[in-house]
A and B are shown apart, each in its own frame.
Chain A
Amino acid sequence: MRVGLSWDLDGDDAGAAWEHVAGEAVAADGLGYDSIWVSESRDDATSCPSPVLWLTNLARQTNTVQLRATRRVTRANPVRVAEELAVLDVFSRGRAGLAFAAASEQGVPAAQVHETLEFVTHAWAVDEFRYRGDFVRFPSHTPDDAPRGVTTPQPGGTYVPQWDWGPVTPDFLAITPKPYNARPPAYAEIGDDETLAWAATRGVSPLVVADTPTAEAIERLIRYREIADAEGRVRAEIEPVLERRIVMDGRGDEFRFGGGSSELIDEIRALAAQTAIAHLVWRRSSPADGDLLRFASEVQPMLQA
């Protein structure tokens, strides 16, 4: 099992909160944690409205840790979402990944999240293309009679390299630069039933966030797994992610794991056996939750073997 860390960037003082999180992230990289996650929020003065940008500033301060941004589809142009993550992926040499928050959290139809994720993953994987959906249209002059979803150009005519085009307006465009990976990992938060079923059918890796009670998280991940299995998805291609709060040497509750190292190992391993999660993300609330070094040496290795 991979183990990562996530943070809410909010706090009283932006400078201090961000510096603290960046410090923990750099330490996590050195301690062998697998991933760091930040999400988009606009609640107060220290919220980070642009998690991809925030991770880009960490790309060169870290070596191996994977960088994951949870984004919203509102106030986001899908083209920019694809471009920004591609630059992060290039800057970090292939360590970028993108998750989308649940539609119900954002007050949008589930289909908008699905379409955005589909658009973005296509934009990374193919060269020139166009896209027609209910929420996304690329380029914007794509006609109404274009086929739904993605189309790529048919061969024909003489090829003219882009640098000899001059002022023309093509029907198909390629997003550049391409990410370093052909397919940076993409995740969907499965808080909505509609998205759960869609993600399991499409093989999009599921994410269950910290404010879901553990019992519900287990139920959702099992339901996802059953649908994915029935659809012929191979487990090796899916990376189910569970975000939990953890209090070392404290008391757990319906949202949190708590206890000493050995109790935590038991709790987490039992849950992993039940849900087949590939990736546990420790949602950090405060340094008092537990020491990163101690968790890395006393718990993390025991989740691997």
Chain B
Amino acid sequence: MEIIVGPYGMQSPHPYRRPHVELYDELIVHAQRAEELGFDGIALTEHSFWYDGYCPSLLPTLAAVSQHTERIKLVTGALLLPQHDPLKVAEEAAVVDRLSGGRLVLGMGAGYRPEEFLGHGVPEGRWGARLFEAMEVVRLALTEGTFSFHGDFYDYDKVSLATRPVQNPPPLWVCAGFADWSAKGSGRRGWAYCTTGDVEGGGSIFDLYEEAAIAAGHDRASMKRGLFRDVLVMPSEHEVTAIAEEDFWPAFNDQFLGFGFLKRMNPDGEQITELPIELKDMFIHNPRNAVGTPESVREQMKPVIEMDLDLLIVRTIWANFKHERTLRTMETFANEVMPHLRAESRRRQEQER
């Protein structure tokens, strides 16, 4: 199991304003620290047209990170592929892979904010279908010398990328939420599948994924599982409580409401402007979420170990998480949780064998 820290969005939100030049400076610091602490990679995430300057250009940013790290994987988690030209993404991926000596991991998602599609000139609707088609284009471009592709959305005739990646190809992942279509679609097409888990954060969604994969004739062993998991771990309980209240909950509020991620209406049909308090239990106090001291987080991670993951993206950062606190939670996780996770998952693998 590879353990990745992130994903970083490079945001300067209203509760925690920062100059962007500082945020990008700090990204390098965090990436180097992650490498020292023994993480396997660092992930970035993208959105466009968002007031806080959310990073819209992941591959260029990873190109810079590649020059200041030596070992860790550089992960897009996720690059919103249907909003890009897939051939262009393949080209840039090849360049980053070369610059980093073959450390790129390309996680790709569909995106869900209508304005991002319209802003990048992509018609609304059928985003999932576009994602899978575009991923196929990326895969062909990165693996075949010359390829043709004729789909519903993309059409290429005898195209070849002159600049080739080091890896053939870099690992390609579907990055998705908990929607059924993404699990089934990924399984059917045999894509590696990284998810936030099922609605409650559990692993049942992987069953759906594997059923679809097997039904489509894919070998079970070739299927890869990834998981995004929020982790807020600090040495003491009161630090955890402080961050949960001051940083975590407000971040969810903006992320879920403003992004249109949570379509909840008041009785009068208007979009709600404040998250219902019960969601706090669902997202923060949910026992499946890793929020607490190292001891409790080790306990909360048990079901994760049982998911037999190939990739775990440990989400230690949300938009308004303070720089120092994020470093601290990263360190605490690396020193007090990660060794346990690695040992347990190795033990499990050996047992299975």
Contacts and interface: CB of A to CB of B under 8 A. Distances in A.
Contact between chain A and chain B defined by CB under 8 Å: yes
B264 to A, nearest CB: 9
Interface string B27-69: 0100000000000000000001111111111011101101110
B282 interface: no
Nearest to B56: A83
Contacts of A165: 258, 260, 271
B163 A77 contact: no
B260 A174 contact: no
Interface in A48-64: 48-50, 52-54, 56-61
A53 B260 contact: no
B317 interface: no
B64 to A, nearest CB: 5
Nearest to B99: A57
**What size tier do the contact residues of chain A reach?**
35 or more
Contact of A14 (B10, B50, B98, B272): B98
A164 B163 contact: no
Given A57-B99, A137-B121, A50 B92 contact: yes
A168 B56 contact: no
Contact of B60 (A49, A84, A141, A169): A84
A161 B13 CA distance: 12
A166 B60 contact: no
**What size tier do the contact residues of chain B reach?**
35 or more
Contacts of A275: none
B174 interface: no
Summarize A's interface: helix, strand, loop or mixed.
Answer: loop
A163 interface: yes
Contact of B118 (A58, A86, A139): A139
Given A53-B95, A165-B260, A169-B114, A43 B162 contact: yes
Interface stretch (A87-95, A235-243, A250-258, A262-270): A87-95
B115 A139 contact: yes
Interface stretch (B82-90, B204-212, B225-233): B82-90
B308 interface: no
Contact of B66 (A45, A57, A91, A169): A57
Interface stretch (A176-184, A202-210, A276-284): A176-184
A156 B258 CA distance: 21
A18 B14 CA distance: 40
Contact of A90 (B20, B52, B273): B20
Interface in B137-161: 161
A125 interface: no
A38 to B, nearest CB: 11
Contacts of A139: 115, 118-119, 121
B64 A60 contact: yes
Contact of A45 (B21, B61, B163, B257): B163
26 contacts: A14-B164, A42-B91, A48-B95, A49-B162, A53-B59, A53-B92, A54-B63, A60-B67, A76-B88, A80-B57, A83-B57, A86-B56, A87-B60, A88-B60, A91-B24, A137-B121, A139-B115, A139-B118, A162-B258, A164-B258, A166-B271, A167-B263, A174-B51, A175-B49, A175-B56, A176-B49
Given A50-B91, A174-B51, 20 more contacts: A14-B98, A18-B99, A42-B91, A45-B163, A45-B164, A48-B163, A49-B162, A50-B88, A52-B60, A77-B120, A79-B121, A80-B84, A80-B85, A86-B57, A137-B121, A140-B117, A140-B121, A175-B56, A177-B55, A177-B56
